[in-house]
Amino acid sequence: MQLRYSFRLYPDTGQQRALARAFGCARVVFNDAVRAREEARTAKQPFPRAAELSKRLITEAKQTVERSWLGEVSAVVLQQSLRDVETAYRNFFASLKGDRKGPKLGVPRFKSRKDARQSIRFTSNARWKITGGRLDLPRIGAVKVKWSRPLPTTPTSVTVVKDAAGRYFASFVIDTDPAADATRMPGTDQNIGIDLGLTHFAVLSDGTKIDSPRFLRRAEKKLKKAQQELSRKQKGSKNRAKARLKIARAHAKVTDARKEFHHQLSTRLISENQGIAVESLSVAGLARTRLAKSVHDAGWSSFISMLEYKAARYGRTLVTIGRFEPTSQTCSTCGVKDGPKPLNIREWTCAACGAVHDRDTNAAINIKTAAGLAVSACGAPVGPEPVLAQRAETGSHGFPTGNRAA
């Protein structure tokens, strides 16, 4: 299992220029590789192999006047950009054949210098190192890092990312052993069902209700004012670029706050419960309704993904039941299905046994019950696939000993 460790970077002015140069060179090589493959497809010829592209787009291109500046950055960065192209096409063809889970992927597209995210990757061949608390990168220098936690083992690759808010991050992918991690969290006999919603972010089967923070809603006034200021700036001006950056930073603040809330809540639920049951939600469908902004603000998919990989890491069981299970219509006391109810009905009385139910708590109890039936039906714990580190990066070798990764 692979986990991603990200740390904030603080490059100085010269290092920012060097990183911008590296981002640009990697982007050009990526676009050249996509163009070469598209030209081969148009001419109905076989796609050029990676070795051929490396020779033509990097080695030979450095000797030309038009691409001589490619020699100003580490060759490993350029080689990794070619690997990204190969991975993008491999995933595209796998998606066409139906061999890849998730939504269908389109043909790899050209990258732009205006993209919200820019990144480059260094492998061990680049001879980068961590010295004196700084990240020493070839052709860039020793960059200041804010180490929020120690790395459990020496990584073999690092990805440097610049986001839309102008922040820099170093991303390490570490190989971990779930069996070793599970021993660090004591076992428990508690099980819980979770009903996710908008008024309350989560209602647990034990009656606990967790309010929805609504980070985006709380920041709407500030974002609206910043958007109005941006609309008044002349296109292409420096003041417009500053206004755009201000908006990006405001959105990044909302995203970070939501992610921190998800991490704290998911870690708490994983540590307190051996089994967790949730209901699969059609977020894409709900995002097409009038509740779209509130649905995206809640971030249910991100939260469930955190539960998935933390359950896999610490030896917990996460069960997902189908979204068509009538959890809000069934009495959790006697099991009688009482029929659908409008959303404004938050409390109801079972006509069969007379039990009074809170709508959300009753649903959470039914989710827990349905998950228990799903586990016993197949004779073994049922859980989704663990969410590994996204994007193809070379992981390190070795296992953590005692450090905590969110």
Catalytic residue annotation: 195, 279, 360
Q: Say if residues 34 and 109 touch (Cβ distance below 8 Å).
A: yes
Question: Would you call 406 exposed, middle or buried from its count of C-beta atoms within 10 A (0-12, 13-18, 19+)?
Answer: middle
Q: Say if residues 330 and 393 touch (Cβ distance below 8 Å).
A: no
Closest to 185 measured CA to CA, from 313, 306, 314, 307: 314
Residue 313: both structure tokens together: 């890491």
Residue 80: both structure tokens together: 């990794």
Radius of gyration of the chain (CA): 25
User: DSSP class of residue 330?
Assistant: B
Residue 35: both structure tokens together: 């163009």
DSSP element (H, E) containing 254: helix 238-272
Residue 97: both structure tokens together: 């054949």
CA dist 192 and 271 (Å) reads 12
Which string of b and e fits 303-338 if b means at least 16 CB within 10 Å? bbbbbbbbbbbbbbbbbbbeeebebbbbbbeeeeeb
User: DSSP class of residue 122?
Assistant: E
CA dist 306 and 266 (Å) reads 7
**Beta-strand runs (E) in 187-325:** 191-196, 200-204, 209-211, 275-279, 317-321
CA dist 185 and 182 (Å) reads 6
Q: Say if residues 319 and 313 touch (Cβ distance below 8 Å).
A: no
- Span between the terminal Cα atoms of the chain, in Å: 14
